[in-house]
Structure 1
Amino acid sequence: MSGDPHAIETPEQLAAHYAAPHPRFLAKVTDRLEATSLAFIAASPWCVLATCGRRGAHATPRGDAPGFVQAIDERTLALPDRRGNNRLDAFHDILENPEVALLFVVPGAGETLRVNGRARLTADPALRARFAVEGKEPATVLLVTVREIYAHCAKSVMRSRLWGEQPRPAGLPTNGQLIAAHTAGGRIDAAEYEAAYQARIRAEMY
């Protein structure tokens, strides 16, 4: 117990401060790298890798030219490890606990893409050669087996004005298209969802 009389320490206390999520927000999850997710990842030059080991949690930035993270198959993403400071905090975490999360960002886009799964490291020569840049191979490649993929709405990016006036990249999947692709049963019309989303999001910014 924290000693703070206003501390929130149980799920029941937490629920008392928030409305229940709309069912569509709980249903907007897939476990496959389908076309819209792949298009978003291919446009992303930057992501955050979140890990947690015995020493606690780490959030590590990863970046390169768009498409630097690639799909090996419909369940597996590959991230090359470019040169850095060799602290290897995230990799030590993964050796202890393979559960990871990825947050993909595309400059100009409000939405982000969240991926949760289990990771493993490999020094496979063929994979290292596949990700060579300027004749330099990554020391290792991180393979993430996808468990969950879903879009995260644009509110945080819009509130922060992160991209200023930078336009959204042409051809990038919309939030409506991502939601429709990730929702089981095809119950979402992408165009209708996107139109309602654009009208709703500004009214619900705060």
Structure 2
Amino acid sequence: MSGDPHAVTTAAQLAGLYEAPHPRFLAKVTDRLEATSLAFIAASPWCILATCGPQGAHATPRGDAPGFVTALDATTLALPDRRGNNRLDAFHDILENPEVALLFVVPGAGETLRVNGRARITADPALCARFAVQGKPPVTVLLVTVREIYAHCAKSVMRSRLWGDRPRPAGLPTNGQMIAAHTAGASIDPDRYEADYQARIAAQIY
């Protein structure tokens, strides 16, 4: 709000308001689609695609059967463009600015998976045919070259009680397993981390 004497406008002000993040949270990033990331994405029926172009930012929902977003290799995700309203806000953004972010959600899981990278749009007939459902291929496929992947903790989902009493899907990688897989140069015991995390998160939810 204009004239707000409490407005935070600099990085220094922001740093003065919050505790510094634990070094582990800064290190829990990978640039490859390894086994835990692939398993989480394969279980996800819904994600949010965030883009920013000349008209500002857009966040658009994308969803289909679990695994509708597919890895083509260790650094490339393919997201078929299913039928929508044809506003194409996100695609117009990408034509101007290819930087994108994806937030993958799995019903029943508190953790989410964040992916940052650069996107391009392709109408390659063979690739579109690969993603056909009920005989209908998408018009285009969004290809995202991954730059960063990391798990986001469960606090926001816990606070919102988003899934109610819905159980966590069996076999889904835990937060500890994803952090262990994503943290380069550090030895983290995923089971011990997960046990400590579950004990700690309730006390830190607010």
Shift of 1:182: 0.2
Shift of 1:194: 0.3
Write the letter of the residue equivalent to 2:52. C
Write the letter of the residue equivalent to 2:100. V
Q: Using the alignment, how far apart are the partners of 1:147 and 1:204 within structure 2?
A: 30
Alignment match, 2:99 = 99
Could you say what secondary structure the match of 1:178 adopts? helix
Alignment match, 1:194 = 194
Q: Deviations over 1:78-100 (max 9, x none)?
A: 00000111000000000000000
Alignment match, 2:203 = 203
Write the letter of the residue equivalent to 1:147. R
Shift of 1:181: 0.2
Alignment match, 1:183 = 183
Alignment match, 1:148 = 148
Alignment match, 2:168 = 168
Alignment match, 2:77 = 77
Shift of 1:2: 3.7
Q: Using the alignment, how far apart are the partners of 2:185 and 2:17 within structure 1?
A: 32
* RMSD, aligned α-carbons: 0.8
Which ranges of 4 or more aligned residues in structure 1 deviate by more than 3 Å?
Answer: none
Could you say what secondary structure the match of 1:184 adopts? coil
Q: Using the alignment, how far apart are the partners of 2:126 and 2:25 within structure 1?
A: 39
Write the letter of the residue equivalent to 2:6. H
**Structure 1: runs of 5 or more not aligned:** none
Write the letter of the residue equivalent to 2:34. E
Q: Using the alignment, how far apart are the partners of 1:17 and 1:45 within structure 2?
A: 37
Write the letter of the residue equivalent to 2:40. F
**Structure 2: runs of 5 or more not aligned:** none
Alignment match, 1:129 = 129
Write the letter of the residue equivalent to 2:102. L
Q: Deviations over 1:72-130 (max 9, x none)?
A: 00000000000111000000000000000000000000000000000000001111010
Shift of 1:185: 2.0
Shift of 1:3: 1.8
Q: Using the alignment, how far apart are the partners of 1:18 and 1:203 within structure 2?
A: 18
1:108 aligns with 2:96: no
Shift of 1:19: 0.3
Shift of 1:186: 4.2
Q: Using the alignment, how far apart are the partners of 1:180 and 1:41 within structure 2?
A: 17
Q: Using the alignment, how far apart are the partners of 1:46 and 1:10 within structure 2?
A: 35
Q: Using the alignment, how far apart are the partners of 1:116 and 1:22 within structure 2?
A: 21
Shift of 1:187: 1.6
Could you say what secondary structure the match of 1:150 adopts? strand
Q: Deviations over 1:9-32 (max 9, x none)?
A: 000101111000000000000000
Alignment match, 1:37 = 37
Alignment match, 1:25 = 25
Q: Using the alignment, how far apart are the partners of 1:132 and 1:185 within structure 2?
A: 41
Could you say what secondary structure the match of 2:14 adopts? helix
Q: Using the alignment, how far apart are the partners of 1:169 and 1:154 within structure 2?
A: 15
Q: Using the alignment, how far apart are the partners of 1:165 and 1:42 within structure 2?
A: 22
Could you say what secondary structure the match of 1:159 adopts? helix
Aligned length in residues: 206
- Normalized against structure 2, the TM-score is what? 0.99
